[in-house]
Amino acid sequence: MSEPNQEIEFETHPDHYRHWRLEIEGATARLVWDVREDAPLRPGYVLKLNTYDLGVDIELADAVQRLRFEHPEVRAVAITSGKEKVFSAGANIHMLGSSSHSFKVNFCKFTNETRLAIEDACRNSGQRYLAACKGVTAGGGYELALACDEILLVDDGNSAVSLPEVPLLGVLPGTGGLTRIVDKRLVRRDLADVFCTLAEGVRGDRARRWRLVDHVAPRSRFQDLVDERLQALSQDLPRREGPGVNLLPLKAEIGSDRYAYRCLTVDLDRRERVATITLKGPEGPPPANAAALRAQGSDAYLFRIFRELDDAICRLRFNEEEIGLLLLKSAGDPEQVVAHDEALLSLAGEDWFAREILLSMARTLRRLDTTARSIFALVEPDSCFAGSLLEAALAADRTYALDDPERPLRMILSSVNLGACPMGHDLARLQVRLLHDVAAWDRLSGQVKAGEHPAFDAAGAVETGLVTIAADDIDYEDEVRVAIEERASLSPDALTGMEASLRFPGPENMETKVFGRLSAWQNWIFQRPNAVGEKGALKLYGRPERPSFDWRRT
Amino acid sequence: MSEPNQEIEFETHPDHYRHWRLEIEGATARLVWDVREDAPLRPGYVLKLNTYDLGVDIELADAVQRLRFEHPEVRAVAITSGKEKVFSAGANIHMLGSSSHSFKVNFCKFTNETRLAIEDACRNSGQRYLAACKGVTAGGGYELALACDEILLVDDGNSAVSLPEVPLLGVLPGTGGLTRIVDKRLVRRDLADVFCTLAEGVRGDRARRWRLVDHVAPRSRFQDLVDERLQALSQDLPRREGPGVNLLPLKAEIGSDRYAYRCLTVDLDRRERVATITLKGPEGPPPANAAALRAQGSDAYLFRIFRELDDAICRLRFNEEEIGLLLLKSAGDPEQVVAHDEALLSLAGEDWFAREILLSMARTLRRLDTTARSIFALVEPDSCFAGSLLEAALAADRTYALDDPERPLRMILSSVNLGACPMGHDLARLQVRLLHDVAAWDRLSGQVKAGEHPAFDAAGAVETGLVTIAADDIDYEDEVRVAIEERASLSPDALTGMEASLRFPGPENMETKVFGRLSAWQNWIFQRPNAVGEKGALKLYGRPERPSFDWRRT
């Protein structure tokens, strides 16, 4: 169970990619994966056959993000392999076999989020993806293809798509695979059952008939097919006028117990297992128009603070496994947050950059929703939990407010709270708080749509459901301290399961099924001796011994 | 990890209840739980404080079923406690702590199904349930209350509802609790978070304001409140004319490797880990009218075969843990099955007994859907997979057909296939097969609604998607044998997770969230050292030592 000893960094840049090449050709792009065998994220395994580890996926996530912002002219992206005989053999098994349970689980979560980011681009950013599969397209390799709009497969009697996890490894195709084949691609469930137990996968026209791929072509015609489909996919998409906006490095100061970003700080208390995230309100008014927003680029306040939050969440997930509780605080002028929100939203209708900022904020908030740490928000007199920053508080498991009549706090709604940054199941976080009181949701949305910004003091916030518990200045500190200590005493596993259940009331969709159903089963299996015991299938993969199973079904 | 050595029996009768009393008073009934401490299902624990084990729940399931059939005059049922100071302290922890993982998981599944049966009665059978909670109403005790239409709580400064699993045991309220509080009762999710970490629970009016209960009353007024609410709940419900229909014992012959019921047999091959379930078609025509159906009572063909199937599934789940594959076969006249289906459906509009039979069949089929064993259906020339029996085949993970031109097989649709026995997420099984081809679903439903009974031979069944793989008589046996052997070689855990994902494409609802999301997380937690390790919270419950946790969050 060797763990990475050094901090994992989530920022990268195409100039530093080791595993991917991003090739822009006018309105289309090629994202070529050509994994360097000798460049794993940590020593101990070799990345053969375009297998991937977290390092490979961090680069992919970066490329997808940069395509949206830095290359607005690109309307269709082909994911192709730089290796002759393999698209990808999936997640690296030796990496998985030598990783701790919590690393495995967080690795799967991150890769799922990357694939959802691709689907978000296809759906909302006018950038369509196709997977050009040649040779072995197995496991996580095929799961990446499943995240694309279209899957093309060489028909050469050899190239096959497969999900061999169940027969070969005794685990699930857990990067969305099981959910996407039946829920997204609508593969008939009995055919999916056959497919998921066929280690060698399915080839050629049969793969097309089973809906596992969209188009097949012989090797000689394949390049033409890819070009044709890229052209076809890029048709009828809205034009996004250039130039792009460069994503500049965040340049955070990562200290031993503090991450200092420009717009937020994270203070780590490892003894208490608590990280305090303090969001700073904007320092000035919002940009007056699209040109001004463009001039600010990746330093625009809302874009920057949510990029920083995204980076901080990823660091906490992987580098601080024992931090069990995130305390969300904020400091600044809530009216200014609302002003930035409304400026961004008013531009988002016309300006792709503003729209992309909003989509990016939404992805970060969804990453927060699925982060397996308890989250408490603390609302105090100098807080600025309004609009988009209030979304973070609404993602919390509970919220405490200091009710000091001398210094009344203010929580304010903006248009962002009406669903501009929806949860994975497409509901607004405020709507989820108000599932029991649809009339209140309708009333508040009506006010915001009419240009009002309902504001709440502590009592009003409790009454409306934005705050769980308010206490006066005599009790507040004790109340919060006791709550933190209690939380820190509970079983981390039970909290993970509880939070995964309580955070998502309401309908489910493919995204929430991936995190709530597929991942939960995978986590269970990742813990079972049949997979990870000394004679488990995952443990013995690649060795001559056969796995030995406990046959009791559950 | 002591296991029950003797076979668990699922048939019982009020005359033999040890833990419940069923008291009928005109249009209302009281279901009084008064658990006998000294009568656990297997030795080794004491059922204090109305804690329950599988034996208690088998009686509850029986009572709920008999209320529907034997007491049609009953329109409202109060679940009350026979003990003064406790409604129920939930599932018995010592039983859980001393059970194997697979027993725990199957115990939770069965109890979830019993609670869903109560909700099905409330929704579809005109029998409303209320829980009259006095004293401790904790964990599974409160989860049973959550399954009722209404929850009443004594307001005496002492009586409380609680879900103390997370703080006390390091596991989840896994009998639907987490899902029902936010999805059914619409408790605000941050309040639910507080509630689920409060070992002592919530009392009185606060419980009402948090939506945890519907009505509270002081002890002196409580009995009146129960009576009032029983009266109110039973208003405006359709009358179901008596007399009731007694559920006669199935009188199966349970041998060492064969269960022989009247309408089906189960043959156990423990070496291959396969159980072959052979459904026999009806021996005569269907009853001509409601009176004839009533005369047949619990021996009416469709009622009987599905009751037998239900019993067989429960036996296999608990008494045959290593059986990994159910092979579904059938033998008889498919036209006769269709005739029985149509007769039942045509009566169901008017006759409550016919309707109850259909609802009961639907529950059994849903029990099959959530059974964690692989299911293959085998369709052969003498098969009668038509209508309701076809539903069982459509629940299978895959279906093999013998395509013998000399003896062509016949699969026939009846009105039952249009959703009269829906899956947990309310879709018809045929509809799930045809998610990719809505036009085909529309066309077939249209034909059936027009009184036709589309029939398919092997080729047609493959074409339509009723059959996965058809083979001629030269290949069929080999094909099936190899498929069975392959299936039997795979990791049982991976299969459980895979089947739970592939069987339920499409939307989710509370029921599928309980089995797919909540249960999956609970199963994970039930496997984790933080719960079941030597220093785990579940293991140490009731002992002086404090649990010791691995703090890594996942």
> Could you state, in chain order, the average pLDDT of each consecutive group of 10 residues for chain B (554 residues)?
68 98 96 97 96 98 98 97 97 92 94 98 96 98 98 97 96 95 98 98 98 98 98 89 94 97 98 98 97 98 98 97 97 98 97 98 98 98 98 98 96 98 97 97 98 97 97 96 96 96 94 92 92 92 91 88
Upstream peptide bond of B14 is cis (omega within 30 degrees of 0): no
Q: Is A100 on the interface with B (CB under 8 A)?
A: yes
Comparing CA positions, the residue from B157, B159, B113 lying closest to residue B132 is B159
What is this model's ipTM? Answer: 0.95
Q: Does A185 have pLDDT greater than 50?
A: yes
**Contact call for residues B94 and B104 (beta carbons, < 8 A):** no
B233 CB contacts (<8 Å, ≥6 apart)?
A: B75, B76, B128, B130, B149, B150
Tell me the mean pLDDT in the region A172-183.
Answer: 96
Evaluated on CA atoms A98, A104, A110, A116, the torsion sign reads positive
Q: In what order do the strands lie in the sheet with A76-81?
A: A20-25, A28-33, A76-81, A128-133, A150-154, A215-217
Interface of B with A in 397-426 (CB under 8 A): 397-399
DSSP B418-479: GTTS--TTS--HHHHHTTT-HHHHHHHHHHHHTT---EE-HHHHHHHTS-SEEE-TTTHHHH
Q: Do A433 and B189 touch (CB under 8 A)?
A: yes
User: Do A493 and B170 contact (CB within 8 A), yes or no?
Assistant: yes
Rounded Cα distance between A425 and A408, Å, is: 34
Q: Find chain B residues with C-beta within 8 A of A378's C-beta.
A: none
DSSP annotation of B396 reads S
Give the three-state DSSP class for A206.
helix
Q: How many residues does chain A have?
A: 554
Side chain identity, residue A406: E
- Segment A120-140 shows an average pLDDT of 97
Q: How far is CA B340 from the centre of its chain?
A: 24
Cβ-count burial of A312 within 10 angstroms (0-12 exposed, 13-18 middle, 19+ buried)? buried
Nearest to A553 among B324, B516, B550 (CB): B324
Chain B residues whose beta carbon lies within 8 Å of the beta carbon of residue A209: none
pLDDT in tens, A208-263: 999 999 999 999 999 999 999 999 999 888 888 889 999 999 999 999 999 999 99
* Whether the Cβ atoms of residue B144 and residue B51 lie closer than 8 Å to each other: no
> Dihedral of CA A550/B1/B2/B3: which sign?
negative
Residues A502, B196 contacting (CB under 8 angstroms): yes
Chain B CB contacts of A190 under 8 Å are 396-399, 433, 465, 468
Q: Report whether A142 contacts A162 (CB < 8 A).
A: yes
Strand order in A253-254's β-sheet? Answer: A253-254, A258-260, A264-269, A274-280, A325-331, A374-379, A398-402, A469-471
Nearest to B186 among A435, A550, A554 (CB): A435
Q: How far apart are CA B414 and CA B449, in angstroms?
A: 9
As given in the structure block, the two tokens for residue B77 are 């049922």
Q: Contact at 8 Å (CB) between B165 and A489?
A: no
**Chain A residues within 8 A of B465 when measuring between CB atoms:** 188, 190
Nearest partner of B216 among B208, B224, B278, judged by Cα: B208
Closest by CA to B35, choosing from B141, B164, B108, B150, is: B141
Inter-CA distances, A6 with A9, A320, A521, B322, Å: 9, 11, 30, 44
Whether residues B172 and A498 touch (CB distance < 8 A) is answered with: yes
Closest-CA residue to A342 (of A293, A399, A280, A394): A293
Residue extents of the structural domains in chain B: 14-234, 255-498, 503-540
B151 bridge partner residues: B131
Amino acid at A411: M
State the smallest CA–CA distance between residue B387 and chain A in angstroms: 19
Mutate to test the interface with B, among A518, A521, A549, A551 (most CBs of B within 10 A): A521
pLDDT of residue A5: 54
Residue with tokens 């052209």: A231
Q: Is B5 exposed, middle or buried (0-12, 13-18, 19+ CB in 10 A)?
A: exposed
DSSP strands (E only) in A409-544: 411-412, 455-456, 469-471
Q: Do A190 and B398 touch (CB under 8 A)?
A: yes
Using an 8 Å Cβ cutoff, are A146 and A181 in contact?
A: yes
Two domains, one topology: A14-234 and A255-498: yes
List all residues 6 or more positions away from B24 whose beta carbon is below 8 Å from its beta carbon.
Answer: B71, B74
The torsion angles phi and psi of A516, rounded to 5 degrees, stand at -95, -30
Q: Beta strand pairing status for B28-33 and B76-81?
A: parallel
| B189 contact residues in A (CB cutoff 8 A) | 397, 432-433, 502-503, 505
Mutate to test the interface with A, among B166, B193, B515, B538 (most CBs of A within 10 A): B193
**Residue A533 C-alpha, separation from nearest chain B C-alpha, in angstroms:** 12
pLDDT tens for A19-47 read: 999 999 999 999 999 999 999 999 999 99
Nearest CA of chain B to the CA of A157: how many Å? 21
DSSP letters, A508-519, are --HHHHIIIIIH
Provide the number of CB pairs (under 8 Å) joining chain A to chain B.
Answer: 287
- Report the C-alpha gap between A468 and A478 in whole angstroms: 16
Q: Which residues contact A115 (CB under 8 A, 6 or more apart)?
A: A143, A144, A146, A147, A175, A176
Contact A193 B499 (CB under 8 A): yes
Tens digit of each residue's pLDDT (9 = 90 or more) over A523-554: 999 999 999 999 999 989 989 999 999 999 88
Q: Please enumerate in sequence order all residues whose Cβ is within 8 A of that of A400, keeping only pairs 6 or more positions apart, or say none.
A: A376, A377, A378, A379, A467, A468, A469, A470, A471, A476, A479, A480, A483
Distance CA B111, CA B173 (A): 12
Cβ contact, residue pair B530, A492, below 8 Å: yes
For residue A211, give the chain B residue with the closest CA: B436
Q: What is the DSSP pairing of strand B76-81 with strand B128-133?
A: parallel
Would you call A193 and B321 a contact, using CB atoms and an 8 Å cutoff? no
Confidence of residue A443 (pLDDT cuts 50, 70, 90): very high
Q: Do B191 and A468 touch (CB under 8 A)?
A: yes
Least confident of A277-291, A472-486, B232-246, B393-407: B232-246
Q: Which amino acid is at A451?
A: G
Give the rounded percent of residues in chain A with a pLDDT score beyond 90. Answer: 96
Domain A14-234's class? alpha beta
Q: Could you give the 3-state DSSP secondary structure of residue B154?
A: strand
Q: Do A527 and B530 touch (CB under 8 A)?
A: no
Indicate yes or no: CB of A105 within 8 angstroms of CB of B550.
no
Taking the CA of residue A320 and the nearest CA in chain B, the distance in Å comes to 9
For residue B110, which residues of chain A lie inside 8 Å, CB to CB? none
Residues 422-481, chain B, touching A (beta carbon < 8 A)? 432-433, 435-436, 465, 468-469
pTM value is 0.96
Q: Which residues from B are below 8 Å from A373, CB to CB?
A: 553
Which helix (H) or strand (E) segment holds residue B34: the answer is: none
Which residues have a Cβ under 8 Å from the Cβ of A481 and sit 6 or more positions away? none
Task: Give me the pLDDT at residue A238, please.
Answer: 83
Beta carbons of A55 and A11 less than 8 angstroms apart? no
Structure-token match 């909700």, residue found: B119
- Give me the pLDDT at residue A159, please: 98
Determine how β-strand B128-133 pairs with β-strand B325-331. unpaired
| Pick among A198, A214, A270, A491 to test the B interface (most B CBs inside 10 A) | A491
Residues 532-551 (B) with a CB less than 8 A from some CB of A: 537, 547, 549-551
Distance CA A515, CA B520 (A): 11
Interchain contact, A491 vs B324, CB within 8 Å: no
pLDDT at A4 over 90: no
- For residue B179, list chain A residues with Cβ-Cβ distance below 8 A: 501
Total number of residues shown for chain B? 554
Indicate yes or no: CB of A553 within 8 angstroms of CB of B323: yes
A188 part of contact set with chain B, CB < 8 Å: yes
Residues of B whose CB is below 8 A from A497: 172, 178, 518, 521-522, 524-525
The CA distances from residue A10 to A13, A41, A55, A381, B392, in Å, are 10, 12, 9, 34, 49
Report the residue from B167, B182, B552 with minimal CB separation from A102: B552
Residue in B187, B499, B553 nearest the CB of A496: B553
A271 touches chain B (CB under 8 A): no
- Looking up tokens 């030592």 gives B545
**pLDDT on residue B2:** 39
Tokens encoding B396: 């299978």
What integer best gives the mean pLDDT of chain A? 96
- Residues within 8 A of B (CB atoms), A 114-133 only: none
Given CB atoms, is A214 within the 8 Å cutoff of chain B? no
Angle at A83 between CA A80 and CA A88, to 5 degrees: 65
State which fold the B255-498 domain adopts: 2-enoyl-CoA Hydratase; Chain A, domain 1 (3.90.226)
Q: Residues B94, B542: contact at Cβ < 8 Å?
A: yes
Q: What is the per-residue pLDDT for A239?
A: 84
Looking at residue B27, its pLDDT comes to: 94
Between chains, do B497 and A105 touch, taking CB under 8 Å as contact? Answer: no
Question: Is the link from the previous residue into A243 a cis peptide, with omega within 30 of 0?
Answer: yes
Query: Which residues of A fall within a CB distance of 8 Å from B528?
Result: 493, 527
Q: How many angstroms separate the CA atoms of A216 and B117, rounded?
A: 48
Residue type, A510: M
From CA B365, how far away is CA B432, in angstroms rounded? 14
What pLDDT does B5 receive?
54
Mutate: best of A493, A503, A549, partner B, most B CBs <10 A:
A493
